[in-house]
Amino acid sequence: MKLVADLITEVLLGGSHFLQGVHSKVDDIGAVLDAVSAKGGAFGTLREHSDLLMSSGLRQSLLMALIPATAFDDSYVGSIDKCIEEHLASLGLKLPQGERDRLRDICINVRKLRHLSGTAARNATKTLADLRAMRTPYLEVLARQKNRCVWCGVPLDTPGVKPSLEHMAPKHIGDDMPDSSNWAIACLTCNSGKGDLISWATSPFAFGYLRGSHFKDPKLICIESRWIVLVRDRACDSCKKGPLEIELGVYRKISTGLPIPQYCAATCFECAVINSKEVLATAWCSEEGTRLFKEA
C-alpha cells in the first residue's frame, strides 16, 4: 500500500503552500486507483466511481472538441455546415450526416442564447407551463417517466414537490428540440442540483468538493452532491429499482465520512429500513422546504 501512503503524503504535504499537493500530478493514475481500491472500500467505491468520472468527463471533452468556434464568431457570415466541415477537417475527422446534423443543432442552440443573461435565456426557452399547454408532448413526457421525477423518482403529485421542466442538456446547448428529446420533468430540487451541467462528472462536487456552508451538518447532503449520486447510480443499490419505479434517496456507505458522492449511494426507502441505512437529509430548495423522503 506504499503507493496509497505516498499519494496521501503528496496530497496533504506536497507543494510549497498549504494543500498545494492537491494539484500535483500522478504518473500512473491506473496504479493509484488499483492501489486505493485494494484497500477494500476504505475510500468508498473509488475505482468504480473514478472510472465513471473519467469516462464521463472525457466524453464531455470530446463533445466540446467537436464544436467549431467559428460558428459563434459574430463576424462570420458563412453557413454553420461549412464551419463544421472545416473544423472536422482540421481534426482529421469525417462524420456521418447524423452526427453533423447534431453538431449543427448544438451550434444553432448556442447562437440563439449565447448573448443572453440567465433570466433572458430562461424567458427565451420553454417552461413547464409552456409544455403543459402542448398537451400531446406533455403527456408523452409524463408517460415515459411514469409521472415521476426523471432523476429521483418521486411521484410528481407528492405534497411538497414542485415539478419543473428539465432541459436534459442545458438550455444553451440543448434548447427546446422540436422532437421533445431534450425535455423531461424533474422536481425542483433535482433540477436545481443539476444546474447547467451536461455531465455530472464535470461538477466540482463530483470530486468531493464542499463549500464552507456544507460543513455545518454531516447528516445533510447538498442538492448538487445528491443529484450527482442519483444520476451516477441510477438505482437503489439493494433492490436495483430505479426512478421509473420508486423514489430514491442518498445514504453514506462510509458513515464516518463527509456527505460527498464518493462515500454515498442511492437507496429506496424500503431498503433503507430493511438494511438500516441512515438516509441523509437533503437541503431541499426553498420551494420544496416541506418535502420529506419517504415511502410513496
- What letter would DSSP give residue 21? G
pLDDT at position 26 over 80? no
Q: How confident is the model at residue 47 (pLDDT cuts 50, 70, 90)?
A: confident
> Residue 39's pLDDT is what?
66
* CA quadruple 234, 101, 175, 211: dihedral sign: positive
Name the β-bridge partners of 166.
Answer: 184
Contacts of 76 (CB under 8 A, 6+ apart): 70, 83
Tens digits of per-residue pLDDT, 69-114?
A: 999 999 998 899 999 999 999 999 999 999 999 999 999 999 999 9
pLDDT at position 202 over 70? yes
Question: What's the average model confidence in pLDDT over 126-139?
Answer: 96
Q: Are 28 and 172 in contact (CB under 8 A)?
A: no
> Residue 45's pLDDT is what?
66
What's the mean pLDDT when you consider all of the chain?
92
Distance CA 270, CA 177 (A): 38
pLDDT at position 63 over 70? yes
Contacts of 66 (CB under 8 A, 6+ apart): 87, 88, 91, 93, 103
> Residue 1's pLDDT is what?
61
Question: What's the average model confidence in pLDDT over 183-203?
Answer: 97
Distance CA 269, CA 256 (A): 21
Q: What are the C-alpha distances in Å from 8 to residues 52, 53, 73, 211, 247?
A: 22, 20, 45, 22, 37
| CB neighbourhood size of 200 (10 A) | 23
Question: What's the average model confidence in pLDDT over 202-217?
Answer: 94
Q: How confident is the model at residue 296 (pLDDT cuts 50, 70, 90)?
A: very low
Which one-letter amino acid corresponds to residue 215? F
Q: How confident is the model at residue 5 (pLDDT cuts 50, 70, 90)?
A: confident
Please state which of the ranges 81-95, 112-126, 245-259 shows the lowest mean pLDDT.
112-126
Domain edges within the chain = 2-39, 205-288
> Residue 41's pLDDT is what?
64
Q: How confident is the model at residue 4 (pLDDT cuts 50, 70, 90)?
A: confident
Spell out where the chain has E strands.
163-167, 183-187, 220-221, 248-252, 264-268, 281-282
Q: How confident is the model at residue 295 (pLDDT cuts 50, 70, 90)?
A: low
